[in-house]
Chains A and B, each alone.
Chain A
Amino acid sequence: MSRMRTPEETKAAMHEVVAEMYDRIVKGEPPTMTLPVRTKNNIGFDKKLGVYKYGKKQSVRDATSLGSAKQLLRALHVVEFIEEMLDAGKSSTLREMYYISEGWGMGKFGSQNDSNNLAEDLEIVTKCLREDFKLRPEEDGARMIGNLTLRERNRRGEWMRINARDDVGDSGYGVPYNVELEKIELLEHDIDFIMAIETGGMFDRLIENGFDEEYRCGLLHLKGQPARSTRRIMKRMSEEWDLPVVVFLDGDPWSFRIFASIAYGAIKTAHISEYLATPSATYLGITADDIVAYDLPNDDLSKKDIEALNAELSDPRFADSWWQEQINMMLELGKKAEQQSLAKYGLDFVTETYLPEKLAELGLA
């Protein structure tokens, strides 16, 4: 799966999905689409790959209810649309596809979420990648700053050499949606580790304080739940350059989820976890005990936060004792804290005290 498929291979894979529906109708049965169950109850740890993948549970979407039948019809429209793009050598964003579906009559999407989910469904069933389908995500990738050099093929097909410290402005290097080999090559670096950061404010704070140079690291802004390409490039840098990845997030249940999707694989994309997840990534902070240890300004957990934490307790990705302890501690505290709450002790506290102390624990500073 690491390689891109040819348009013919992609079409053939999609035709299998269509044929399942067609053949069922010919047999006098309701048409169906078979796909793995996409919940936390059906993800398991793949020891060989070191990430969480979908298990064996399959769900059959059959056309006996109006909702499912409409999903099947939409899938057919999407297949047809992708074929047209493959033939014309074009690509579109998921959002564009959502708007194009306005013209699909009964097959039109109810929401953007519908179309995103369906694209993922097709990836899973056909074992193709979104890139094979010529579908681009709407969200842009991460920003990166640090002394690392890569080669990107621009839209004129020329390779450009870019150093993410010397060749970029303050906003850093923008990671494109496709970071596969035909688009990006990792050339060289002079850093000791990569730090992924949740919020833009903190990313900018570390740059302003010159943290990347002082601590010889590459900084990566995740922009909340990281896009696929963000996770993919982290994975590639970690593997190809053999660099440790540390993750610096807010201290709340949602940040735990972000970390899980970086390190173990997201539930929604468990079919391609081995391409996106960085199993060696380490959670740096903010941890539940940081809230106490650093006496950070905090907020009470909301009802939704508590629900999320409880759900995480039964999530196989958080099954190890460290996570169980952190989650339970946060539940007991009933508190959460943001990255930027460290500013309580001044603007330099994070770079002069907090991060050095945390990195020292990991042997990185």
Chain B
Amino acid sequence: MAGIAQKLASNQKQVAISEFFEKNKHFLGFDSLARSLITAVKEAVDNALDACEEARILPTIRIHITKLDTKKDIVKLVVEDNGPGIPQKSIEKVFGQLLFGSRFHAIRQSRGQQGIGITGVVMYCQLTTGKTTHVRSKIATEPTAAFVDIGLDTRKNKATKSNAGREIWYNEDGTGKEHGTEVTAQMKAKYQKGRQSVWQYLRMTSIVNPHAEIIFIDPEGEKHHWTRVTERLPTKVESIKPHPHGIELGQLQRMVSESKDLNLNHFLLNNFSGVTNRARKELCQASEIEGTRKMKSIKGDDIRALLEAFQGERLFNALPVKLLKPPTNCLSPIEELLIKKGLSKTIDSRFITTLTRVPSVTQGNPFQVEVGLIFGGGMPGDKPVEILRFANRVPLMYQQGGCLLTKAIESVDWRQYGLDQAGGKGVPKGPAAILVHLASTNVQFTSEAKEALADNAEVMEEARKAMLEMGRGLRKHLEKKKKMAKTKEKFELINDILPAIAEKSAQILERPVPELSGSITKIMSAVISESTTEWNKETKNIDVEIVLFNYTSRVRAYTLLATWPEKSGATMENNDTGGRKEALGVWAWKLDSLQPGEKITISYSLSGLERGDWTETEVLFRGSQDVIGATKMDEKFLEEIRRQEQLLKESGIASPEDYSEVVETSTEPAEQKSEAIEEKVEPSVSPPDGQRTLFGGDV
């Protein structure tokens, strides 16, 4: 742990903007008493989550807010984490200097991103109460914790420290704390409830950080506990070098002036992503600078020329220089299954669909959009849907209307997917919540307040596509629910009512009870599919059973297809009916002749999954006669899966699932397409019991 902690601290660079902060604190989230408290919690929690993530620790974070003076709105905030801790000598730097942070200079997805965070809190406390901020931190290799009070001299851009010392840090239960950091701050602030509150911020944080345990004690002493729903830490993100498409002049100038490279050739190859040896040559030619030129000699116009070559304004052979896309393994999406878990633990619902898009690139910056939609349950049906916006796992709580992610939601005509929306525009209404997460190495906000994402055509397009796909999922769910209810009725009809009619009429007429099979076929006049997806406690597998009934008077032939979480590392077992792989995550069985009155059962088990990972199997079919309970195969759906698979293969993007130990011969790089749908309390339909086939014969 110490190694990491010390290494993190050694990367820090200084940028002096303390005074800028004091003048602009309203940009930084300290413009109202309520918001200041949220911002303070946010900065502390973000730091804790980031530190834990880098040190590969499952975070447990406690937040305790108490009112010290209600009249003067003085509040005490304590945030404690179990992170790696901060070495003593780095504490004052971390807490006392603006833009002090390794993250500012590294290109990768991270929460704080611009390092203005916790120092702002220290400063705010200093400005509003005159009090210093007490920090206690312990790293694993040292026996005691260091503590110190940090204040701030905003003009000198320097931290002031006092009362420094060391002590043994005891947990509540009397055991010694191994590692972690605790911040105790006093500030002028107001605790509020509602949509824009500390509670909401923590709830949202918990949704997108399913690996974190968050305990919050509010000023009324009420304890809110968001449990950890996965032991899986977010994928470790790699820093990447900047991509030429994303570079600005100032940055390039600084890189050139700070370069220790031998010459331009080396500079280009060593400091950028996406620059191959071919691209290096072409960039030199396009910018008309010799590759062997020493870096010191590259100045003003050269740098501008180089930038123009980067941006395709200077051409090579009449074409912009072709660059590789930046790698996207620097992104850490939450991933579908975990978003699902995060959502379902915080919101009661009937239906969840989540979707993680394939990473994409805008202006040299990799990004990835994830969305989730949760529907039904206890949510009010006549209010606008709740919008949960996130950037790099950080909840965005203000300026909803001005945010790109909101605009993406508003741009979709949700009426076609079963939500109310006046005029097909704006935030839809209905018992639903929509989650949008943008993971990116460079999140562009509309302002320093970092509450709304700035417009960007590519991000917008990705988010929109994700919404549309999710919308289709919702529509399918609603249609399916209707169909299921209908099917359930039909089964009730033939299993209960029809036999009763036959019996009663026979009894009144004093005649024998008639045979029902003919009537049943005529009444159903359909092929019906039923499927169950259930967790098997004993085998720790998920058992799937699909039954296809032919209630028509003719022989039927189908190809039946089922979705399964292949990309999440599941293995299909005990599939006695055989079949073949149709696409990633889609299995197919050819059923040549299904006799009238006959039923066919397909069953298999999925191993390598946890309980709740896969709760509904989508059954699709190819064939002329409609199948109740299954969806007709949309061949475009398959094409899209295959296209995305191919895309992934070509770009060579490592799958975020690469850590997975389950390696299958057929596994392609993870595709991000299929949706994870969870449905609770689905009415299950019971088939006619005790009958192998309708007519008593064998299949």
Residues of A within 8 A of B (CB): 15, 18-19, 21-22, 24-31, 63-66, 69-70, 72-73, 76-77, 79-80, 83, 105-107
Contacts and interface: CB of A to CB of B under 8 A. Distances in A.
Contacts of B522: 28-30, 64
B137 to A, nearest CB: 67
A63 B509 contact: no
B492 A31 contact: no
Contacts of A83: 508
Interface in B526-557: none
21 contacts: A18-B508, A21-B505, A22-B511, A25-B498, A25-B502, A25-B519, A26-B514, A28-B522, A30-B523, A31-B498, A63-B493, A63-B501, A64-B522, A65-B489, A66-B490, A66-B497, A79-B508, A80-B504, A83-B508, A106-B500, A107-B504
Given A22-B511, A28-B517, A83-B508, A73 B489 contact: no
B508 A73 contact: no
A107 B508 contact: no
Given A15-B508, A15-B509, A31 B501 contact: yes
Contacts of B506: 22
Contacts of A66: 489-490, 492-493, 497
Interface in B336-392: none
Contact of B518 (A18, A29, A64, A77): A29
**Chain A residues touching B, majority SS:** helix
Contacts of A27: 518
A24 to B, nearest CB: 7
A28 B504 contact: no
Contacts of B501: 21, 25, 31, 63, 69, 72-73, 76
B514 A69 contact: no
A106 B519 contact: no
Nearest to A80: B508
A230 B522 CA distance: 46
B496 interface: yes
B262 interface: no
Contacts of A65: 489, 493
Which of A18, A30, A63 has the most CB atoms of chain B within a 10 A radius of its CB? Answer: A30
Chain B interface: which size bin? 20 to 34
B591 interface: no
Given A18-B505, A29-B522, A31-B505, A73 B514 contact: no
A22 B511 CA distance: 9
A292 B516 CA distance: 66
B310 to A, nearest CB: 68
Contacts of A22: 502, 505-506, 509, 511, 514
Nearest to A69: B497
Given A29-B522, A65-B489, 18 more contacts: A19-B509, A21-B505, A22-B506, A25-B501, A25-B505, A25-B518, A28-B518, A29-B518, A30-B522, A31-B501, A31-B505, A63-B498, A64-B525, A66-B489, A66-B493, A70-B497, A76-B505, A80-B508
Which of B500, B501, B517, B518 has the most CB atoms of chain A within a 10 A radius of its CB? Answer: B501
A336 B523 CA distance: 50
Contacts of B507: 80
Across the A-B interface, give the 6 residue pairs with the lowest CB-CB distance, nearest first. Answer: A28-B518, A66-B489, A76-B504, A22-B505, A69-B497, A25-B514
Nearest to A22: B505
Contact of A30 (B511, B515, B519): B519
Contacts of A70: 497
Given A25-B501, A66-B493, A76-B504, A18 B523 contact: no
A26 B521 CA distance: 13
Nearest to A24: B519
A114 to B, nearest CB: 15
Contacts of B514: 22, 25-26
Contacts of B504: 73, 76-77, 80, 107
Contacts of A28: 517-519, 521-522
Given A73-B497, A73-B500, A106-B497, A64 B509 contact: no
B197 to A, nearest CB: 44
A64 B500 contact: no
Contacts of B500: 73, 105-107
A302 to B, nearest CB: 25
B508 A25 contact: no
Nearest to A70: B497
Contacts of A29: 518-519, 522
A155 B490 CA distance: 49
Contacts of A64: 522-523, 525
A77 B489 CA distance: 21
Contacts of A106: 496-497, 500
Contact of B498 (A69, A77, A79, A107): A69
Contacts of A76: 501, 504-505, 508
Contacts of A30: 519, 522-523
Contacts of B492: 66
Contacts of B518: 25, 27-29
A17 to B, nearest CB: 9
Contacts of A21: 501, 505
A80 B519 CA distance: 23
B509 A18 contact: yes
Contacts of B489: 65-66
Contacts of A25: 498, 501-502, 505, 514, 516, 518-519
Contacts of B498: 25, 31, 63, 69
Contacts of B516: 25
A63 B511 contact: no
Nearest to A14: B508
Contacts of B517: 28
Nearest to B553: A28
Nearest to A76: B504
A30 B511 CA distance: 18
A30 B493 CA distance: 11
Nearest to A11: B508
A31 B447 CA distance: 71
Nearest to A19: B509
Nearest to B518: A28
A25 B523 CA distance: 11
A30 B502 CA distance: 10
A28 B508 CA distance: 20
B488 to A, nearest CB: 9
B493 A31 contact: no
A92 B428 CA distance: 54
A18 B490 CA distance: 22
A63 B497 contact: yes
Contacts of B525: 64
Contacts of A31: 498, 501-502, 505, 519
Contacts of B515: 26
Nearest to B510: A15
A25 B506 CA distance: 10
Interface in B412-466: none
Which of A25, A72, A79, A83 has the most CB atoms of chain B within a 10 A radius of its CB? Answer: A25
Contacts of A24: 519
B153 to A, nearest CB: 74
A225 to B, nearest CB: 33
A80 B523 CA distance: 25
Contacts of A63: 493, 497-498, 501, 519, 523
A69 B493 CA distance: 7
Which of A76, A77, A83, A107 has the most CB atoms of chain B within a 10 A radius of its CB? Answer: A76
A229 B327 CA distance: 88
Contacts of A77: 504
Nearest to B496: A106
A135 B655 CA distance: 75
Interface in B466-518: 489-490, 492-493, 496-498, 500-502, 504-509, 511, 514-518
A39 to B, nearest CB: 25
Contacts of B508: 15, 18, 76, 79-80, 83
B514 to A, nearest CB: 4
